[in-house]
Chains A and B, each alone.
Chain A
Amino acid sequence: MKELSLNILDIAQNSLTAKSTLVEILLEETDETLRITVRDNGCGMSEDMVRRVTDPFCTSRTTRKVGLGIPFFKLAAEQTGGRLELESVSQDVSPENHGTVISGLFYKNHLDFTPLGDVVSTVCTLIQGCGGVDIVFRHTMPNGEVETDTREIRAMLGDIPLSEPEILMWIRGNLEEQYAEVNH
């Protein structure tokens, strides 16, 4: 992957297909580090699956939604001296409180740090394909914050779907303006 934002898209796609109702994408940035967290309240994974999921060669085709995505993300973090953390609670274990949290820590000044890239496109792509799942995106930077929450947008839209191109263009414009303000 040429941009970390593509890894985020790939990881969050898993959350969308895991029967989640809410997927949160959290980016926390300091001058030296970037932490990327994708948290969902989906069906979760078994302990066995959690162990195997970071190994590209153990993934079987029946688990088709989880393939090379997590190993790529892990590699991108580790090659900067950072790490990947993965926690998951399967709905079979906890019917009330289940889901998956994947978090990568990246050292931004490392030579092998992959640039974040076009994260606005990633968020728009996720919202385009999210169906009924809600998405929260929050990017905290040393000098400001960019945020969107589809629950608020849906409340405004009534029964007009988020996937309508005109709506997506508004979301894109809104995020770009927030970034422009932070980088002002």
Chain B
Amino acid sequence: MKSLEELAAIREKMANKMALRENAGEIRIVVGMATCGISAGARPVLNTFVEEVANQGLSSKATVTQTGCIGICQFEPVVEVFEPGKEKVTYVKMNPEKARRVVEEHIKNGRTVSEYTIGNNQ
């Protein structure tokens, strides 16, 4: 059972990690979660990012957040990646498979997956 005791154990583990996380330089993964995004499949994309970041131990490096409609509904699900000192990367028509590749190549290894970017999908 996923009990509250288990949650307490996670808390203890996290408390140490949180202290190390104060350093800046975080990557932000922002998923569009308005009506347009949700109906195009943004929920599994968001959840894949959350899972992959947790499973690959990247939570000190990247955070996953949600935003509303950014005005390019025809390209939903849209994901923006913000990295300090770099230009924003906009990934379009995302799905869980593509999300896993973005985590692997972009978040982990710093290489933009250019075939998923808006520039290559117009």
Residues of A within 8 A of B (CB): 1, 6, 9-10, 13, 17, 64-65, 67-69, 72, 118, 121-122, 124-125, 128-129, 152-153, 156-160, 163-170, 173-174, 177
Is the beta-carbon distance between A6 and B39 smaller than 8 angstroms? yes
Interface centre among B4, B47, B63 (most CB of A within 10 A): B47
Q: B11 is contacted by which of A69, A125, A157, A174 (Cβ under 8 Å)?
A: A157
Closest to B3 in A: A174
What are 22 inter-chain pairs, A to B, with CB distance below 8 A? A1-B38, A6-B39, A6-B43, A13-B33, A13-B34, A17-B68, A64-B69, A65-B68, A69-B35, A72-B35, A125-B66, A156-B8, A157-B11, A158-B15, A160-B18, A163-B63, A163-B65, A165-B51, A165-B54, A169-B50, A170-B10, A174-B2
Q: Is the CB of A170 within 8 A of B47?
A: no
Asked if B7 is an interface residue, CB under 8 A from chain A, the answer is yes
* Size category of the binding interface on chain B: 20 to 34
- Residues in A whose Cβ lies below 8 Å from that of B15: 158, 160
Distance A137 CA – B68 CA, assembled complex (angstroms)? 22
Q: Which single residue of chain A is at the shortest CB-CB distance from B69?
A: A64
Q: Are the CB atoms of B35 and A68 closer together than 8 Å? A: yes
Per the bound structure, the CA–CA distance linking A13 and B11 in Å amounts to: 27
- Report how far A150 CA is from B4 CA in the complex, Å: 12
Are the CB atoms of B2 and A125 closer together than 8 Å?
no
| Beta-carbon contact of B7 and A170 below 8 Å | yes
Name B residues whose Cβ lies closer than 8 Å to a Cβ of A.
1-2, 4, 6-8, 10-11, 13-15, 18, 33-35, 38-39, 43-44, 46-47, 50-51, 53-54, 59, 63-66, 68-69
Q: Is the CB of B43 within 8 A of A122?
A: yes
- Cβ distance B68 to chain A, nearest Cβ, rounded Å: 7
Instruction: Specify which chain A residues have a CB less than 8 angstroms from the CB of B46 in the assembled complex.
Output: 125, 128
**Which B residues are CB-close (under 8 A) to A118?**
43
Q: Given the complex, which residues of B lie within 8 Å of A128, measured CB to CB?
A: 46, 50, 64, 66
Neighbouring A residues of B51 by C-beta, 8 Å: 165, 169
**Nearest CB in chain A to that of B67: its residue:** A129
Give the chain B neighbours of A158 by CB distance below 8 A: 11, 15
Can you name the residue of chain A whose Cβ is closest to the Cβ of B18?
Answer: A160
Measured between beta carbons, the chain B residues less than 8 angstroms from A121 are 43-44, 47
User: Quick check: B47 and A169 within 8 Å, CB to CB?
Assistant: no
- Closest CB-CB distance, B8 to chain A, in whole Å? 6
